[in-house]
Structure 1
């Protein structure tokens, strides 16, 4: 193995190739020339003393060694991004970059007016918004602040429960006009139901309260909450929607509210190391206040 310590740019190029699947894709994503990416990978293979890809006419296939490096590279990348965000503003100024992660529906339907108000109050702030139903790791600094629908379990986090967001069955008024409004589970089974594709631990935990809301009964199956919401709005059938979202749309009608109602605890969390960052505190407080207005609830500090 080469005694020279490989620089971050070599690891960055390797992660780019792993993510994009090719030298050209990595070059486009990183904004550098393709030959440069190739040189970086070759230099890293020499430094580590092992092949990272097998090369064929079909392209590059990562070796086991490269795949083992991937989680470490992702941690390096997240740390480098966090360092860049930290250096984007001074500690006491509400300016610079803050990275927020939230679910698809919350990011698209709930956060935009909150972030717009935040931008008016603090024009020096730049927000990076990551929409994913996967939980981003705040300890690895994949994001600065997270809006989560599950109770945080990790230590070293500042977490505040801000709301209990109620979800229930909804349908477009036009669909109900054409097909009628179900009043019982037997009637509900006669309707087109929009639901999940893959069963999750959360769905299994609430299975007893789902009634006929089972995968084999769904006429449209998707794990995208946004796709489910779009289908409800298009009049495809009956599906699960946040009550706060439906309340803003007169065409969405809640169905069987006494039978189907679930509450999602909503938390705003950030790493405790950021508690003294003025920009992170401003964003954290804005999210707590805005989400509290969206779904009023007694806040509980942890």
Structure 2
């Protein structure tokens, strides 16, 4: 290789590796597909070896392309960090803050908090990432995260602000029609709403709680979906009994079911990378979420 490849070409390679196709990568890069294809062709000429193979299964990266993947991810994260840090120095409290939360929290809990934040800080744009998997804050997949597990990375600033209580809930109408279960045996006679293919932590909590005469598998649930929001919608519609946060259940008009049988708590942590503590807008968001989620946790009985 005669010279270091141009960063613009490497960004196109990274986009193809992440997206899996030229067309999707072109949309990510905001380029035409022919332009992106020329970037890959030029990069292959510079490297003297192919980066992708075309097959009936689609685009297959070569070992050379895969060797670039981790390095390009790190470079992209570093570039994003530099851009945001420079933007923070220039714009002060203005700019963008990228926040990541779980799907259920992003839809049911955080919107009023963000409305309040935007009223107080109209110069700060908010990007909200809904993902039940923890974003990698060290790679700047997001700036600030709300997590329900204790952070383990040493490079994070993290604050526990309270606990969430979860338990069985249903509509009053469902319970009036089908009765209120008083034992796990009764509970298993009801329409239970739960997971399909995923295996969430709640399953372990059910097993630890004891009292079930069978393993906790998907077959225990007669209404199955891996989407927490869809489970809540089913509870609201009166499909059956499911598990959700006490605060969300109360707001949705649901009532607790057999709290003496089952319930558990999850911690609420607000996190950001330690390099962001000097950014005014990041600090504003961190402090705002810490305050609001502490109040949210205090709503629980």
Structure 1 length as normaliser, TM-score? Answer: 0.90
Deviations 1:49-84 (A, max 9, x none): 332111246642222332343333333333333333
Establish whether residue 150 from structure 1 lines up as the match of residue 149 from structure 2: yes
Cα RMSD for the two superposed structures? 2.1
1:241-280 → structure 2 map (5 Å cutoff): 241-250=244-253, 252-280=254-282
CA drift at 1:210 = 6.0
What is the match of residue 296 of structure 1?
A: 298
Provide the rounded CA distance (Å) in 2 between the counterparts of 1:203 and 1:70.
Answer: 35
1:281-292 → structure 2 map (5 Å cutoff): 281-292=283-294
Provide the rounded CA distance (Å) in 1 between the counterparts of 2:263 and 2:12.
Answer: 48
Provide the rounded CA distance (Å) in 1 between the counterparts of 2:205 and 2:119.
Answer: 41
The structure carrying a bigger helix percent of its residues is 2
Contact 1:193–1:218 (8 Å) recurs in 2: yes
Deviations 1:214-247 (A, max 9, x none): 4221112222212211221222211111001111
Distance 1:121 1:238, change over 3 A: same
Gaps (5+ residues) in structure 1? 298-302
Provide the rounded CA distance (Å) in 2 between the counterparts of 1:56 and 1:145.
Answer: 40
Provide the rounded CA distance (Å) in 2 between the counterparts of 1:233 and 1:64.
Answer: 50
What is the match of residue 77 of structure 1?
A: 76
Residue 162 of structure 2 aligns to a residue whose secondary structure is strand
Contact 1:91–1:276 (8 Å) recurs in 2: no
Deviations 1:134-166 (A, max 9, x none): 111111221111111000111021110011011
Contact 2:162–2:298 (8 Å) recurs in 1: yes
Structure 2 length as normaliser, TM-score? Answer: 0.90
Contact 2:146–2:271 (8 Å) recurs in 1: yes
CA drift at 1:113 = 0.8
Provide the rounded CA distance (Å) in 2 between the counterparts of 1:114 and 1:47.
Answer: 50
Deviations 1:169-220 (A, max 9, x none): 1112332232222111111000111112322567436621265454221112
CA drift at 1:284 = 0.2
Deviations 1:31-62 (A, max 9, x none): 11111111111122233333211124664222
Aligned length: 295
Provide the rounded CA distance (Å) in 2 between the counterparts of 1:56 and 1:75.
Answer: 29
Provide the rounded CA distance (Å) in 2 between the counterparts of 1:206 and 1:246.
Answer: 19
What is the match of residue 300 of structure 1?
A: none
Distance 1:206 1:180, change over 3 A: closer
